[in-house]
Amino acid sequence: DTAVSQTPKYLVTQMGNDKSIKCEQNLGHDTMYWYKQDSKKFLKIMFSYNNKELIINETVPNRFSPKSPDKAHLNLHINSLELGDSAVYFCASSQGREEPQHFGDGTRLSIL
- Site residues for other proteins per CB under 8 A: 4, 31, 33, 41-45, 48, 50, 55-56, 58, 90, 92, 97-98, 100-106
Q: What is the largest CA-CA distance in the chain?
A: 38
Q: Note whether 5 and 107 are within 8 A (CB).
A: no
Work out how close the CB of 68 gets to other proteins at its nearest, in angstroms, rounded to a whole number: 15
Nearer Cβ to other proteins (15/43):
43
Nearer Cβ to other proteins (17/26):
26
Nearer Cβ to other proteins (3/15):
3
Ramachandran quadrant class, 51 (left: phi over 0; alpha: psi -120 to 50; beta: rest) = left
Work out how close the CB of 43 gets to other proteins at its nearest, in angstroms, rounded to a whole number: 4
**Going by DSSP bridges, is the β-strand pair 19-25/73-78 parallel, antiparallel, or unpaired?**
antiparallel
